[in-house]
Amino acid sequence: MKHVVLPEVKDRSLVFYLAMEEFVAREIEDEAFFVWRVNPTVIIGRNQDVEAEVNMDYCMSNGVEVVRRKSGGGCVYSDMGNIMISYVSRRGDVSEVFGKYLDALAGCLQALGLDARKSGRNDVMVGERKVSGNAFHMLPDRSIVHGTLLYSTDFDALETAIRPPVEKLERHGVSSVRQRVANLSECLDRSVIGSVEALEEFLIKHFTDGEIRLDTQQAAEIEEMSKKYIKYTR
């Protein structure tokens, strides 16, 4: 699997990385992997009701972007303490592709000494708390899995920005999002992984065996592609 590298490091909107997944799926034949982080953003699934799932007043007042992705699944809050992971592969059975990726991610965390396991179809848990949620998007001949890996996310902002349905929380036996999730910074030995940047590097080394570097023209094409994604404003 190849690590896809951009020509320059700078802050980019979440929609850029969603477009980058599509570009990589279209232009790169190898299995591909990249990690990224964004300023506070809420990402809603393809079929979700933004007004029901998102505290729009809070988001608009606090500079939190709200974006709709093409994959299904639930509402996600992301910030610079959350690593977003993109995995692009040949088209395959959803359960098989998901299972392969989640097993690999759990194995990566186990290599760091954590009691990590995949849970259900979408999640990775450490102990009884969720540290990663993931979604799937299928193109004509490629599969895209993208997901979160919580390291030091601001849970106060997360709880305020998104509104998961009560029945979803009850299904997991909790009364709030915070009860169900954990930051890896609380779980990891800081002498091994002491920062979110160190965890990003570990992921790249664990998952990939080489890299593919995009050039400035390709980055500009991705930027143009990103304009078709929906951003919500008021």
Residue 172 has pLDDT above 50, yes or no: no
Average pLDDT, the chain: 91
Entry pTM: 0.92
Strand ranges across the sheet with 65-68: 65-68, 41-44, 76-78
Alpha helices in the chain (DSSP H): 14-27, 50-53, 56-61, 94-110, 155-161, 166-171, 177-180, 196-207, 216-225
How confident is residue 177, by pLDDT bands cut at 50, 70 and 90?
A: low
At residue 123, the pLDDT reads 94
Please state which CATH number belongs to domain 35-210.
3.30.930.10
The predicted model gives 169-191 an average pLDDT of 74
Cross-strand bridge partners of residue 42: 66, 77
At residue 29, the pLDDT reads 93
CA distance 104 to 62: 36
For residue 132, the surrounding DSSP H or E stretch is strand 129-138
pLDDT digits 0-9 by tens, 87-134: 999 887 888 888 999 999 999 999 999 999 999 889 999 999 999 999
pLDDT digits 0-9 by tens, 142-158: 999 999 999 999 999 99
